[in-house]
């Protein structure tokens, strides 16, 4: 069984969807670690409920990104982590982790990439007045939401306010991400 570490910065709804999928046997994986760059993030409470070991850190307390990634890598290695799963982690992954986990870091993004990369993708889509946005699962590279796309699903957001658009997109994220993770962990090809 593959061992995963989830990286998150916020409330952790995607992390919880993954943990629930593991509990239900829908996702055949073992989550052995939560990493967060926000020591007060709500995701820590969720991780505790699921019995997930957590590592939180304050990036500014390190001299460089490489320094905190080296510390994280030691932990990942000690726990024999096979894949890193980003679930609302609001930092670019640096060379230390990219080199250690080539094609084994995944991310979920609330838009149909390459449209609306970066922060506040839902707000960007609403401001652009598009009728459809969606969800993308992709491999992580050195860029911001530029890695190879694994899967996408469209979500209609026409005439939605921000709350409704967010709710619709998150519902798709919570269903799509565990399914795609299972396919990747099984080394199955996933089509867009």
CATH (domain of 34): 3.40.50.170
Question: How many independent structural domains does the chain possess?
Answer: 1
The two structure tokens encoding residue 128: 């652009």
Q: Kindly state whether residue 70 falls inside one of the protein's structural domains.
A: yes
Task: Report how far residue 118's alpha carbon sits from residue 97's, in angstroms, rounded to the nearest whole number.
Answer: 20
Residue 132 belongs to some domain of the structure: yes
Establish if 150 belongs to a structural domain: yes
Q: Is 75 helix (H, G, I), strand (E, B) or coil?
A: helix
DSSP secondary structure letter of residue 61: G
190 found inside a domain: no
Domain contains 191:
no
**What does pTM read for this prediction?**
0.94
Q: Is residue 192 part of a domain?
A: no
Residue 178: give the domain boundaries: 2-185
- Residue 17 is assigned to a structural domain of this protein: yes
Q: Measure the CA angle with vertex 179, ends 174 and 181; round to 5°.
A: 100
What positions carry a catalytic annotation? 109
| One pLDDT digit (tens) per residue for the chain, 192 residues | 999 999 999 999 999 999 999 999 999 999 999 999 999 999 999 999 999 999 999 999 999 999 999 999 999 999 999 999 999 999 999 999 999 999 999 999 999 999 999 999 999 999 999 999 999 999 999 999 999 999 999 999 998 899 999 999 999 999 999 999 999 999 754 444
């Amino acid at each position: 069984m593959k061992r995963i570490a989830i990286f998150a910065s916020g409330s952790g709804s995607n992390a919880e969807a993954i943990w629930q999928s593991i509990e239900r046997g829908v996702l055949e994986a073992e989550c052995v670690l939560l990493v967060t760059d926000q020591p007060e993030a709500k995701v820590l409470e969720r991780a505790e409920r699921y019995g997930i070991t957590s590592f939180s850190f304050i990036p500014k307390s390190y001299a460089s990104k490489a320094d905190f990634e080296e510390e994280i890598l030691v932990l990942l290695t000690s726990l024999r982590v096979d894949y890193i799963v980003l679930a609302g982690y609001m930092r670019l992954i640096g060379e230390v982790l990219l080199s250690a986990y080539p094609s084994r870091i995944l991310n979920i993004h609330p838009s149909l990439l390459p449209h609306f990369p970066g922060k506040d993708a839902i707000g960007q889509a609403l401001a652009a007045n598009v009728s459809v946005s969606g969800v993308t699962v992709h491999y992580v590279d050195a860029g911001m939401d530029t890695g190879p796309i694994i899967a996408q699903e469209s979500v209609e957001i026409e005439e939605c306010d921000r709350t409704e658009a967010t709710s619709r997109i998150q519902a798709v994220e919570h269903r799509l991400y565990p399914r795609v993770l299972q396919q990747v962990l099984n080394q199955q090809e996933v089509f867009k």
